[in-house]
Structure 1
Amino acid sequence: MSFAISPADLASFSADYQADQTNAVLERAVTKNGVQAASFDWHAKADNDQHFSIDLKTGKVANQKQSGRCWMFAALNTMRHDMQQKFNLPTDFELSQSYQFFWDKFEKANYFYENVVKTAELPTDDRKVAWLMETPQQDGGQWDMLVALIDKYGVVPQSAMPESYNSSRSNELNAVLNQKLRHDAVILRQAIADGETETQINARRKAMMNDVYRMLAYAFGEPVQEFTFEYRDEAGEFHREAGLTPKTFFAKYVGWNLDDYVSIINAPTQDKEYHQTYTIEMLGNVVGGRQVKHLNLPMAEFKQLAVDQLKAGESVWFGADVSQMSERKMGILALNTFGYEDLFKTQLTMSKEDALDYSQSMMNHAMVLTGVDLVDDQPTKWKVENSWGEQVGEKGYFVMSDAWMDKFCYQVVVNKKYLSDELKAAQAAEPVVLKPWDPMGTLA
């Protein structure tokens, strides 16, 4: 069955357009101002003010600049919030995102080589191989991937490894590094086809990783191994501790048991049962490190866990689709931000399930919940710490309506202590393995 557009059809479409005089007014508004400005609904601003019944003390927002490190910023921000309370650190204190960025790219390169070897016998037009080669590595990630890095490399304050040109503007490095990885994939696949032994293949990989280390050291600087931590606290008292390593710093100044923090998702699609755990094939960064693992819950349970953690005074890492109904400058995430349907006189609304299944929506950004407004103990809106600097939102903080959260929020990370015994048992279960391109495997 096919349908070709005829001249008669075009004439009918034009006649229908001309018959409605409001179309000329809307045409002028949209062509002059753009789709978003012409459809912005000021009620979204009025409905989502910056007042919350639970509002955690945090500090100045960070700025990931021209890089895709939101997942990393968000995770480190949750840790620094706790550190600021424990040690009375200054409001502009940050953990080094550049340090984690170096090791993430280093480990992702090795993880890529691992998957190249595993898929070496598949043809290059196989979907798994094509997916792997499309983006050998990128800036994005997930909570469990940062945990894998911290388990292996620890953390450092930003003063010990500051930002560089390439950590703040990663496109140039990504282009060269991905070219390097694809180049090496050709060599590895050919070596396996030629029958080289595992020892020979590993020797090639070691030499390749030596090259990657050098490239990253040029781009970010070589990672610090020992450093002195100095700061003046909010009371004006000076502190200094020498001889710290990234792991001893994490143990003393962060002190979290990262095994306590687990990923909760809301994926209401037919292929994912609730109260079941999931992982994604070929998704990770550290070979042999922590597995990406999600527990799928209905939205009511999902949100209650976030509320419980906020009530206890701890911020919450979360992942969402920030491209949907988002007004960046005002810092608004609300379903009525833009009236696209009213403007264009058509239907656009999709269920969360359909939006996932038909690639309309998926997680693409990680931020931090730092507050919530509760009415009769039910959330109406949420306070969000972003990582886009202080020039957007309210000094970098956004407001997210509860309805927007229902529709476009996909992941939160919470301490296991907030889970019921039944949920703890479900989270501990062996995960179902999803395909590499599943939307729950997208990187924030």
Structure 2
Amino acid sequence: MSKEISFSQIKSYKESFYSQPSHLISQRAVMKNGILASSENQQSTVINNPVFSIDLDTGKVANQKQSGRCWMFAALNTFRHHIEHTFEIKDFELSQNFTFFWDKFEKANYFYENILATAVEPLESRKVAFLLQTPQQDGGQWDMLVAIIQKYGIVPKSVMPETFSSSQSRDLNTFLNKKLRKDAITLRSLVEKEASEEEINQTKASMLQEIYNLLATSLGTPPTNFDFSYVDTDGNYQLKRNLTPQLFYDEFVGRNLSDYVSVINAPTADKPYNELYTVEMLGNVVGGKEVRHLNVDIDTFKNLAIDQLKMGEAVWYGCDVGQSSTRDSGIMATDIYSVEETLDIDYSMTKAERLDYGESLMTHAMVLTGVDLVEGKPTKWKVENSWGDKVGSKGYFVMSDDWLNEYTYQIVVNKRYLSEELLAIVEADKATVLAPWDPMGALA
């Protein structure tokens, strides 16, 4: 039975608050400076100094600005590192706008297909409500970018530079989602009146033309052929003529993206370790690479990342960046703030409990570019962010190993680093399908 709060209870709570001097100390600090500033632990900054036993030279950081393209920036940054070192190009970037365009275009088609697949379900069904809540967004997964690159390739940033809407995507998302919801009404109505497959396909094709027009107006038209010129670090002028985005990828990156595996650490009861998972209705390219996650224990998870770093290759990774981290100094550490002491509240939860109860999930993707190993064990990690060079140490963050244990959920590694047992699981390709709203379906 419900019970209201009485005024006698409130009086008791107030008396209890004032009876403890520590509450008054915290009250003065927090009212003046806020919760986090009053709780910051400077010793954590001292411990997490930016010195690493393995430290890859990855150059200047990029800046996603006011957009949610971190997953895209992080993946393209791993390719950029390779290009800069192999071809001796300084301060080079790949076009995030190019992949952004095609991701938006493919997500629209993916949404239409899901709307048609659920058209007989009522609007109040959880799946339909899930689709309509956010028809598309900036975020994504590693495998989704692989699907884009495998279909469309990539281009240098100089060939398709940023626009206002790529760097500040809020308005584009507003009007794109407005159109997608309107189109959902039309498609569901066609199914309800038992329209022919031909009529539905023609209607959808017309909708996609309007989507293309909206994207081309906002982001520019993606190139199909282009010339690429640059001056290498020795001062030599280089020119490549008549490239396509696919040829550019093959010549300048050349990695077989099928060799890379998404590995997660999700210690929840519904996801046993050493099994493969996928997520229903998660993707962008219809018929493209499906999102797949191999779930492993945290020690295996970290050792895979270390193995790849030791071989000189950075690691794409996904985490909950807003948890216990500072933006300006770029410290991600479980003890950077002592909020529990300031507020006298116990916030402790296990990693599994945070996932199960909605307290945490993957919100951001970055790149691991270094690690500090002491007696063979990691103590802290170097992180390349995509928020420009005004935060952290010229855009690089330091992540404590404890923070990685608690708030990092995904890495992408070459399958050569997997054990025979794990490789067999990946190659068997038998994935358990998770619900669309599962936390492992979160988009960075």
TM-score for both structures, normalised by structure 1: 0.99
Q: Which residue of 1 aligns with 2:145?
A: 146
Deviations 1:21-59 (A, max 9, x none): 332222121011111100100011001001000000111
C-alpha distance in 2, partners of 1:328/1:435? 33
Q: Which residue of 2 aligns with 1:84?
A: 84
C-alpha distance in 1, partners of 2:218/2:140? 20
C-alpha distance in 2, partners of 1:337/1:198? 58
C-alpha distance in 1, partners of 2:114/2:21? 59
TM-score for both structures, normalised by structure 2: 0.99
> Counterpart of 2:106 in 1: which secondary structure?
helix
Q: Which amino acid aligns with 2:77?
A: N
Deviations 1:340-386 (A, max 9, x none): 10001110011000000000000000000000000111111000000
C-alpha distance in 2, partners of 1:26/1:258? 52
C-alpha distance in 2, partners of 1:49/1:69? 28
Q: Which residue of 1 aligns with 2:123?
A: 124
C-alpha distance in 2, partners of 1:15/1:377? 52
> Counterpart of 2:228 in 1: which secondary structure?
strand
Q: Which residue of 2 aligns with 1:359?
A: 358
Q: Which residue of 1 aligns with 2:424?
A: 425
> Counterpart of 2:217 in 1: which secondary structure?
helix
The answer to whether the 8 Å contact 2:383/2:397 transfers is: yes
C-alpha distance in 2, partners of 1:96/1:234? 21
C-alpha distance in 1, partners of 2:182/2:391? 40
The Cα shift of 1:2 comes to 2.9
> Counterpart of 2:255 in 1: which secondary structure?
coil
The Cα shift of 1:236 comes to 1.5
C-alpha distance in 2, partners of 1:287/1:15? 61
The answer to whether the 8 Å contact 2:384/2:396 transfers is: yes
Q: Does 1:110 align with 2:103?
A: no
The answer to whether the 8 Å contact 2:227/2:239 transfers is: yes
The Cα shift of 1:229 comes to 0.8
The Cα shift of 1:68 comes to 0.0
> Counterpart of 1:12 in 2: which secondary structure?
helix
C-alpha distance in 1, partners of 2:172/2:187? 22
Deviations 1:253-295 (A, max 9, x none): 0000000001000000000010000000000000000000000
Q: Does 1:21 align with 2:21?
A: yes
Percent identity over the alignment is 55
Q: Which residue of 1 aligns with 2:404?
A: 405
> Counterpart of 1:79 in 2: which secondary structure?
helix
Q: Which residue of 1 aligns with 2:71?
A: 71
Q: Does 1:241 align with 2:240?
A: yes
Deviations 1:99-144 (A, max 9, x none): 0000000000000000000000000000000000000000000000
C-alpha distance in 2, partners of 1:425/1:3? 56
C-alpha distance in 1, partners of 2:35/2:143? 37
Structure 1 residue runs of 4+, over 6 Å off?
none
Q: Which residue of 2 aligns with 1:205?
A: 204
Q: Which residue of 2 aligns with 1:415?
A: 414
The Cα shift of 1:18 comes to 1.2
Aligned ranges 1:367-378 → 2 under 5 Å: 367-378=366-377
Aligned ranges 1:324-363 → 2 under 5 Å: 324-363=323-362
Q: Does 1:293 align with 2:317?
A: no
C-alpha distance in 2, partners of 1:385/1:234? 22
Q: Which residue of 2 aligns with 1:183?
A: 182
Q: Which residue of 2 aligns with 1:436?
A: 436
Q: Does 1:44 align with 2:44?
A: yes
Q: Which residue of 2 aligns with 1:321?
A: 320
Q: Which residue of 2 aligns with 1:167?
A: 166
Deviations 1:314-336 (A, max 9, x none): 00000000010010000000000
> Counterpart of 2:13 in 1: which secondary structure?
helix
The answer to whether the 8 Å contact 2:23/2:343 transfers is: no
Deviations 1:50-87 (A, max 9, x none): 10000001110000000000000000000110111111
> Counterpart of 2:277 in 1: which secondary structure?
strand
Q: Which runs of 5+ in 1 are unaligned?
A: none
The Cα shift of 1:427 comes to 1.4
Q: Which amino acid aligns with 1:275?
A: N
Kindly tell me the number of residue pairs found equivalent between the two proteins.
Answer: 443
> Counterpart of 2:367 in 1: which secondary structure?
strand
> Counterpart of 1:327 in 2: which secondary structure?
coil
Q: Which amino acid aligns with 1:184?
A: D
The answer to whether the 8 Å contact 2:39/2:337 transfers is: yes
C-alpha distance in 1, partners of 2:87/2:375? 35
Q: Which residue of 2 aligns with 1:135?
A: 134
> Counterpart of 2:366 in 1: which secondary structure?
strand
Q: Which amino acid aligns with 1:53?
A: S
Q: Which residue of 1 aligns with 2:271?
A: 272
> Counterpart of 1:326 in 2: which secondary structure?
coil
C-alpha distance in 2, partners of 1:59/1:21? 50
The answer to whether the 8 Å contact 2:278/2:434 transfers is: yes
Q: Which runs of 5+ in 2 are unaligned?
A: none
Q: Which amino acid aligns with 2:95?
A: S
Question: Over aligned residue pairs, what C-alpha RMSD do you find?
Answer: 0.7
Q: Which amino acid aligns with 1:116?
A: I
C-alpha distance in 2, partners of 1:350/1:171? 34
> Counterpart of 2:143 in 1: which secondary structure?
helix
> Counterpart of 2:101 in 1: which secondary structure?
helix
Q: Which residue of 1 aligns with 2:4?
A: 4
C-alpha distance in 1, partners of 2:267/2:234? 48
C-alpha distance in 2, partners of 1:346/1:179? 42
> Counterpart of 1:140 in 2: which secondary structure?
coil
C-alpha distance in 2, partners of 1:352/1:24? 32
The Cα shift of 1:205 comes to 0.5
